[in-house]
Amino acid sequence: MKPTEQGMHCVIAEDVEIGRNVILGHHVIIHPHVIIEDNVVIGDGVILGKTPSKSKTSTLKTGDLMPLKIGQGTVVGAQVILYRGSTIGPESFIADQAVVRERCQLGTRVVIGQRSTVENDCQIGDYTKLQTAVYLTATTIVEDHVFIAPMVTTTNDPYVARTEARHAAMQGPIIHRGARIGGGAVLLPGVHIGQEALVAAGAVVTRDVPPYRLVMGVPARVVRQVPEEQWLFLPDGQPME
Amino acid sequence: MKPTEQGMHCVIAEDVEIGRNVILGHHVIIHPHVIIEDNVVIGDGVILGKTPSKSKTSTLKTGDLMPLKIGQGTVVGAQVILYRGSTIGPESFIADQAVVRERCQLGTRVVIGQRSTVENDCQIGDYTKLQTAVYLTATTIVEDHVFIAPMVTTTNDPYVARTEARHAAMQGPIIHRGARIGGGAVLLPGVHIGQEALVAAGAVVTRDVPPYRLVMGVPARVVRQVPEEQWLFLPDGQPME
Amino acid sequence: MKPTEQGMHCVIAEDVEIGRNVILGHHVIIHPHVIIEDNVVIGDGVILGKTPSKSKTSTLKTGDLMPLKIGQGTVVGAQVILYRGSTIGPESFIADQAVVRERCQLGTRVVIGQRSTVENDCQIGDYTKLQTAVYLTATTIVEDHVFIAPMVTTTNDPYVARTEARHAAMQGPIIHRGARIGGGAVLLPGVHIGQEALVAAGAVVTRDVPPYRLVMGVPARVVRQVPEEQWLFLPDGQPME
């Protein structure tokens, strides 16, 4: 199917599936192996289905990639780059200049903020919001209903690019359901941020954060419980009220 | 009026006012409701007059927006996105890849650094400079002659995305005349940075900073006065010398 | 010579030298005074040979610039901006949305991560890797085999934009051979990071770091030696093993 509406100077490969009522802006580039579901809106200057181009010294492996799939009703801002091999869930919002690399799985109604980067092999749950200029390192796991404030940094390499042991040890943070990360915080490799936990702005998290706890400082320490009126869910998973 | 000079593959809507001696690069996109004054230079790949595209879970309200207005003599770098509803003052400089959202008011001779984001409803005074990759959260107020170093983060939500009370409490920082913010600093919601105050690089500012004071650390504490030879203005507003 | 392969809607100036087996994506813009060596790949939406456009209040001087030169076998990602006057060494990788300003010298097999900025007059040695969203301030010197993790900030102005003395004192950090900088760290103007030193994630480095030492915290302090199994080189410069 052709886009219902399409701007000027677009480039659309032949091997692309486009649903009903899809709107493309100007200067959109769609590479092969892209599936766009119904009611999707794509902004100006967006690049869809990019294939990873490795540096000669990269240690990443890129096998055969599935198509990029963009779920129904999702809105993609301007100058965004979405790689082949990822799935963007329905009714999501990918803001201007964001980049989602290959083999990521994004759920329903996810928000990826402007200029944010989601590196390869990340998982992001339903209703999770990344704000502006968030950096999710490769293999980060973010569960449902998580909120990540602007300019948060994550890391995944406890050996900081040295020794062979690092390849086995590489793991991004695991951010559990309903957790919140404040602006400018830094999360070290593999830390767990517990359910409904809150990391204060500017904190550097060097070890696991227990559920329902507020941590702050460098390195981050537990200072108190998250007030119950800010919870979304009870520890047993039932929604509040 | 037509641009005096215009690159290849531009897309210019009909409802656009263009002054004398305006130069457009290649691949420029100008949406409706844009006013460009005399002697403005627009770089390659710029998008002007973008309309906000809301996520389905966004709490932002976007009413009718005024045109985007770019003041005379202003230079806009490459791949910049400027939203409808904002005013960029004269003789300003918006560097490559910067984004200015809707309903912002920028003064005269303002500099917005490369890759910086100015969210909706910000006010920025004359001669203020944001360097590279600065993040100004929605409703931030920055007065005249302020200097913000690279990678500074601001926040505006004291409830970090929870409880209804946050909608009333949302307020970005207020940065007063002649203040300076060092690289990588994080400012918490609603903090006042006093006139001519200096926030050291990497500080996390959790409470108001008095005028003419230097703060540093996490959380930031006052360590001394800003040396008088670095002042631009006396406390009564008169310029030094 | 013409590119071997070229996407749609490209704009290529007449004064451009292109080697053998060069591949351009879609929407590529090449300004005059650009030299592209053999086997280079340029991604979609890239801008090559941009000339600095100064703000009216800038204190930078931009004299006559040499051509931009891209060494053989280098891969440039999508939406990258490379300025005239810089040299990108062979077999390097410049990832999506990165910006390299004028008069930079990048060595062989350098990686510049996605969304990273290399300001004017930087030097980067062979095999050095910048990860995502790193900010290198003007005049930063980075030697060979350095690793810089995501979202690292550097600064170069000890007077934070005030007093005339600052023009003489401006100096970015000097990062020596084999050093590593953790995610989200902030480096103050002119600090030396010693050979094979390691700056922990989130550290704020306010003074020189001795070789082979690990520093952490705000401000950063030496906590121990870097374990020998993580060294690349002995103090005399010989490679380990």
- Per-residue H/E/C for B58-96: CCCCCCCCCCEEECCCCEECCCCEEECCCEECCCCEECC
Which among A58, A117, A161 has CB closest to C147?
A161
The DSSP secondary structure of A77-121, one letter per residue, reads: -TT-EEETT-EEPTT-EE-TT-EE-TT-EE-TT-EE-TT-EE-TT
Contact check, Cβ <8 Å, B183/C155: yes
The region that residue C101 occupies, defined by phi over 0 for left and psi between -120 and 50 for alpha, beta otherwise, is beta
Are C198 and A160 a contacting pair, CB within 8 Å? yes
**Phi, psi dihedrals of residue A72, rounded to the nearest 5°:** -60, 140
| Cβ–Cβ contact C177 with B under 8 A | no
Burial of A188 (0-12, 13-18, 19+ CB in 10 A): buried
Amino acid at C48: L
| Cβ–Cβ contact C114 with A under 8 A | yes
Confidence of residue A55 (pLDDT cuts 50, 70, 90): low
Contact check, Cβ <8 Å, B135/A151: yes
Average pLDDT over residues C87-115: 98
Nearest-5° angle of CA A85, CA A89, CA A95?
90
- Interval B161-194: pLDDT, tens: 887 788 888 899 999 999 999 999 999 999 999 9
- Interval C183-218: pLDDT, tens: 999 999 999 999 999 999 999 999 999 999 999 999
| Cβ–Cβ contact A30 with C under 8 A | no
- Interval A22-41: pLDDT, tens: 999 999 999 999 999 999 99
Mean pLDDT of chain C: 94
**pTM for this model (two decimals):** 0.96
C-alpha to C-alpha distance for C52 and C86, rounded to whole angstroms:
12
Q: How much is the pLDDT for B62?
A: 53
Q: Which residues of C touch B90 (CB under 8 A)?
A: none
Contact check, Cβ <8 Å, A201/B218: no
Helix, strand or coil, per DSSP, at residue B2: coil
Are B160 and B179 a contacting pair, CB within 8 Å? no
Expressed in angstroms, the distance from the first to the final Cα of chain B is: 45
- Element spanning A191, H or E: none
B219, closest residue in chain C (CA to CA):
C218
List CB contacts of B81: < 8 A, sequence separation 6 or more: A78, A79, A96, A97, B46, B47, B50, B98, B99, B100
Confidence of residue C158 (pLDDT cuts 50, 70, 90): confident
Q: How much is the pLDDT for A237?
A: 87
| Cβ–Cβ contact C158 with A under 8 A | no
Higher-confidence position of B54 and A184: A184
Counting Cα atoms < 13 Å in the Cβ hemisphere of C219 gives: 11
Are A71 and A82 a contacting pair, CB within 8 Å? no
Q: Does C60 have pLDDT greater than 60? A: no
Q: Does C64 have pLDDT greater than 90? A: no
The DSSP secondary structure of C122-157, one letter per residue, reads: -EE-TT-EE-TT-EE-TT-EE-TT-EE-TT-EE---
Q: Which residues of C touch A154 (CB under 8 A)?
A: 150, 183
Q: How much is the pLDDT for B1?
A: 77
C-alpha to C-alpha distance for C88 and C135, rounded to whole angstroms:
17
- Å between C111 CA and nearest CA of chain B: 20
Q: Does B215 have pLDDT greater than 60? A: yes
A42, closest residue in chain B (CA to CA):
B53
Percent of chain B at pLDDT exceeding 90: 85
Q: Tokens 């005349």: give the residue.
A: B177
Q: How much is the pLDDT for B231?
A: 94
Q: Which of B2, B107, A160 is nearest to C152 (CA)?
A: A160
Q: Positive or negative CA dihedral for C139, C124, B132, B100?
A: positive
Q: Does A126 have pLDDT greater than 90? A: yes
Tell me the sheet residues that pair with C34: C16, C68
Q: How much is the pLDDT for C192?
A: 98
Q: How much is the pLDDT for C28?
A: 98
| Cβ–Cβ contact C186 with B under 8 A | yes
Q: Which of C44, C124, C45, C135 is nearest to C89 (CA)?
A: C124
B148, closest residue in chain C (CA to CA):
C160
- Element spanning B99, H or E: strand B99-100
Q: How much is the pLDDT for A33?
A: 95
What would be the CATH architecture of the domain defined by C1-51+66-118? 3 Solenoid (2.160)
C-alpha to C-alpha distance for C232 and A116, rounded to whole angstroms:
33
| Cβ–Cβ contact B54 with A under 8 A | yes
What is the pairing mode between strands A180-181 and C75-76? unpaired
Helix, strand or coil, per DSSP, at residue C167: helix
What would be the CATH architecture of the domain defined by B126-235? 3 Solenoid (2.160)
- Say how many residues make up chain B: 241
According to DSSP, residue C101 is labeled -
- Element spanning C174, H or E: strand C174-175
Q: Does B30 have pLDDT greater than 70? A: yes
Q: Positive or negative CA dihedral for C162, C168, C169, C175?
A: positive
Average pLDDT over residues A87-103: 98
Residue extent(s) of CATH 2.160.10.10 domains in chain B: 1-51+66-118, 126-235
Q: How much is the pLDDT for B64?
A: 84
Q: How much is the pLDDT for C54?
A: 64
Q: Does A57 have pLDDT greater than 60? A: no
Average pLDDT over residues A200-215: 97
According to DSSP, residue A228 is labeled G
- Provide the ipTM: 0.95
Q: How much is the pLDDT for A121?
A: 96
Q: Which of C178, C169, C175 is nearest to C145 (CA)?
A: C178
- Say how many residues make up chain C: 241
Are B72 and A109 a contacting pair, CB within 8 Å? no
Percent of chain A at pLDDT exceeding 70: 96
| Cβ–Cβ contact C148 with A under 8 A | no
Confidence of residue C59 (pLDDT cuts 50, 70, 90): low
Q: How much is the pLDDT for B176?
A: 98
